[in-house]
Amino acid sequence: SHPFYELEDALGVVQHHDSITGTGKEHVARDYSRRVQAGIDKATPHVLSIILNQMFPNRTLKSAIDLQNSGLQERLEETLQYCPLLLNESICEAATNTVFEGGKENMYVVVYNPLYQQSLQPRTWVVRVPVSMPGIYSVERVDDDIILSRDQTGNNKQLVHARVVNARNDNYTTHENNTIWQVEFLAGPLLPLGAVTYRVALQQPLGETESLNEDDEILPNNFIEIS
């Protein structure tokens, strides 16, 4: 009955060399991924509750700030979902369903570090999430400052151009054409078994044409060009 049992069982089955090397028949390969996905679907709610408890440790409603938080907590409990963001598919409904128009909604991205040992370098990770529209987005780390986020002077706010990329593996993408908009930012430092939370908000919508498209040769300013 443990929520992880089905995933463990599936991972036991996929130890077969056909699964590891992909030499089985195609429908067998798809059956392996179906089993693993079923295990992930069963385990995710349990992991989500761990994450949410970490984000909003149970607090008595001792202050107005918590009142604000409880609204955010309820909303994220409804909408937070695991986004595999694999190489061959660009699926994340929670991201592409966020209504950025008119600043109506913001997107929250929680990055959870499953490593338990501390690495030499502080761990950072490039996060690429699909968004529903082109534009310039602010990405602001708000994890344990969620309560105080209104005070943030924005000093940890990055401004990021959403850029157009080719959707992976056009079977699954729900996008009519084959391109999607993507926001990319560096998350971290990530502590062992720790989670950090970012709020992504649309700062300035851009028309599809004026957005930074793949052919622009301008180099980002954080790169030095060495002759």
Min dist CB 217 to other proteins, Å, is 6
Min dist CB 126 to other proteins, Å, is 6
Which residue, 1 or 225, has its beta carbon nearer to other proteins?
A: 225
DSSP code of residue 87: T
Q: CB-based burial of residue 100 (10 Å sphere; 0-12 exposed, 13-18 middle, 19+ buried)?
A: buried
H or E, element range at 64:
helix 64-79
Q: Which of 19, 15, 40 is nearest to 28 (CA)?
A: 19
DSSP code of residue 149: G
Which residue, 36 or 48, has its beta carbon nearer to other proteins?
A: 48
Which residue, 1 or 151, has its beta carbon nearer to other proteins?
A: 151
Min dist CB 216 to other proteins, Å, is 6
Three-state SS for 139?
strand
Min dist CB 16 to other proteins, Å, is 11
Which residue, 35 or 199, has its beta carbon nearer to other proteins?
A: 199
Decide: 183 and 131 in contact? Cβ < 8 Å: yes
